[in-house]
Amino acid sequence: MCKVIAVANQKGGVGKTTTSVNLGIGLTAEGNRVLLVDCDPQGSLTVSLGYKEPDQLENTLASLISEVIEDEDLQIKETIIHHEEGVDLIPANIELSALEINMVNVMSRELMMKCLIDQIREDYDYIIIDCMPSLGMLTINALVCADSVLIPVQAAYLPVKGLQQLIKTISRVQRKLNPGLHIEGILLTMVDGRTNYAKDISRLVYDSYSDQVGVFKTIIPLSVRAAEISAEGSSIYQYDPKGKAASAYKSLTKEVANDGR
Ligand code: ATP
Ligand code: MG
C-alpha cells in the first residue's frame, strides 16, 4: 500500500526540500519505490536533484494538473524523471504559480492533485510531496491527497505561532476534505547542538506538541554539508555519507518506515 506524505510548513527555509530529498532517497535505499513531487513554483526540489533549469522543462506538475483540469489524458510517463539514486520525480517550475491563480475558478479545485496522485499511487510505496512555503491552494491540494503531513521546524526561532496556524489548517482539511489525514510528526531541523537557544527551542517544541501531534525522536543537526547538497544534485548519503546529517536522515527514514504500516 502506498503512503503519501506531504512535507509542509508555510514558514520558508525550514528544511522542507532538504528533508523531502533525503527522506525520499533514504526510503529508496531501504528497497521502497519512491516518487518525489515538487509542489513549489520555485522548483527547489527539481534543482536539488540536479535539474538546474526547471523553467526549461515542458512536462511538469503544472502541465499534469492542467490536464486533470481539462479532462485530458495525463502525460505521466513523459513527465516523471528517473533520478540516478533510484527515486522518481515529478518536477515543477514557475508555471505552477500561474496555475495556482487559475485554479481559483475551477470546480472542485481542492481535489485536482488527488485526481492525479490517485492514478499513480499503485506504482509506489511512498509518494513525498515537497510543499511551497504558503498555505495556498497548492498546499491545500497536497494536504487533500496526503495520508500524513511531516512538519519540519527550524529550531532557531520561536515557531509556536506559525505552527498553530498550520495545525489549524490541517485540522480543517481533515474535517472537510480528507478525514484520513494525520500528522506524521514535527521534525526539528538545523539544530545547532552547541547553543543553549537551540536546545531551549527543541525542548519547547517537544513540551508543547509531543502530546498533540508527535515529535520525531530524530533531530536534524545544522550541517554545512547538508546546506551544500542543493548545489550537488545528490543526496546527503552520496555527498557526505559519513557525516552527522546523513546519519540523522537515515534515522528519520527508519522512524518513518517503521511507523506501523
Ligand atoms: P522553502 O520554504 O524556500 O521551500 P525549505 O523549507 O524547503 O525552503 P530548504 O530549502 O530545505 O528549506 O533549506 C533552506 C536552506 O537551508 C537551504 O539553503 C538549505 O541548503 C539549508 N539547509 C537545509 N538543511 C540544513 C541543515 N541541516 N543544516 C544547514 N543548512 C541546511
Ligand atoms: Mg523548499
- Spell out the domain ranges in the chain: 3-257
Model confidence at 48: pLDDT above 80: yes
Determine the average pLDDT of the residues in 217-222: 94
Please tell me the number of the ligand nearest to residue 21's CA: 1
From ligand 1's centre to the CA of 228, what distance in Å? 10
Least confident of 7-21, 26-40, 107-121, 201-215: 201-215
Mean predicted lDDT score pLDDT of the chain: 93
CA quadruple 131, 148, 169, 62: dihedral positive or negative? positive
Pocket test of ligand 1: the residue of 7, 18, 224 to mutate, having most ligand atoms within 8 Å of its CB, is: 18
194 has a pLDDT exceeding 90: no
What pLDDT score does 159 carry? 63
Q: What pLDDT does 261 receive?
A: 45
Q: Is 94 exposed, middle or buried (0-12, 13-18, 19+ CB in 10 A)?
A: middle
* Position 206 pLDDT exceeds 90: no
Q: What is the pLDDT of residues 137-184, one digit of tens each?
A: 999 999 999 999 999 998 776 666 688 899 999 999 999 999 999 999
Q: Please give the average per-residue pLDDT across 196-204, as a whole number.
A: 80
**Ligand 1 environment, Cβ below 6 A:** 12-18, 40, 44, 133, 189-190, 220, 222-223, 226-227, 230, 245
Q: Which amino acid is at 73?
A: D
Q: Once rounded to an integer, what is the mean pLDDT over residues 102-114?
A: 92
Q: What angle do CA 74, 77, 82 make, to 5 degrees?
A: 140
Question: Residue 198, CB half-sphere, CA atoms under 13 Å: how many?
Answer: 16
C-alpha cell at 76: 505521466
Q: What number of other Cβ atoms are within 10 A of residue 258's Cβ? A: 8
Q: What percent of the chain has pLDDT over 90?
A: 80
Average pLDDT over residues 85-93: 98
Residue 113 pLDDT exceeds 90:
yes
CA–CA dist 203, 191 (Å, integer): 12
Residue keyed to cell 494525520: 182
Quick one: pLDDT at residue 140?
Answer: 97
Nearest ligand, CA 19: 1
Question: Among the atoms of ligand 1, which is closest to the Cα of residue 132?
Answer: 4
Q: From the CA of 9, which ligand is nearest? A: 1
Domain 3-257 top-level CATH class: alpha beta
- Residue whose Cα lies nearest atom 8 of ligand 1: it is 13
- pLDDT over 90 at 99, yes or no: yes
Residue type, 238: Q
Handedness of CA 205, 207, 213, 217 (dihedral sign): positive
Please tell me the distance between residue 153's alpha carbon and the centre of ligand 1 in angstroms.
Answer: 11
Strand partners, 154: 189
Poorest-confidence range of 3-7, 166-170, 195-199, 226-230?
A: 195-199
Q: What is the pLDDT of residue 157?
A: 67
pLDDT of residue 158: 66
Nearest CA to ligand 1 atom 15: 13
* pTM for the whole structure: 0.96
Q: Determine the pLDDT at residue 238.
A: 95
Q: What are phi and psi of 216, to 5 degrees?
A: -60, 145
Residue nearest to ligand 1 atom 31, measured at CA: 227
Atom from ligand 1 closest to the CA of residue 9: 6
